[in-house]
Amino acid sequence: MTRSYSVVLLDQAIEDLRRLEDFAIDRELASATPDWSVPQRALDAVREGLRLLSWSPYTCRRAELGNGRSRELVIPFGTTGYVVLFEVVGDEVVVGAVRHQREDDYRH
């Protein structure tokens, strides 16, 4: 039987998702040929990645950041993607940050 985990997003991760959504919208606003499906498709890709964490968090690579227990989920999207920083604590997957792969790090 597959073990099930609850995925919990910390406030910072929720803020990150809002920031990334705003960035995607701003990028389309600035485009000569906007594709208004991009922000929603990006959110859907992240949502699907977070679903993976509910049943298979240990398949993700260990993160260089954090306390040695942190892991990263890479979510492909277009030519780049997103990285989710999380830790498994008991039956919970605690998501601390979400960033675009082109961002420097998880800190602001």
Percent of the chain with pLDDT over 70: 92
Given a cut of 80, whether residue 93 has pLDDT beyond it is yes
Assigned CATH topology for domain 6-100: YaeB-like fold (3.30.2310)
pLDDT 10s digits, 38-56: 999 999 999 999 999 999 9
Give me the pLDDT at residue 104, please: 63
Per-domain residue ranges of the chain: 6-100
* Section 10-23 average pLDDT: 94
Report d(CA 14, CA 34) in Å as an integer.
25
Cβ neighbours for 42, distance < 8 A, ≥ 6 positions apart: 20, 21, 24, 77, 82
**Hey, how many other C-beta atoms are within 10 angstroms of the C-beta on 28?**
15
Q: pLDDT higher for 102 or 79?
A: 79
Given a cut of 80, whether residue 65 has pLDDT beyond it is no
Q: Strand order in 6-9's β-sheet?
A: 6-9, 92-100, 80-89, 71-77, 61-62
DSSP 33: S
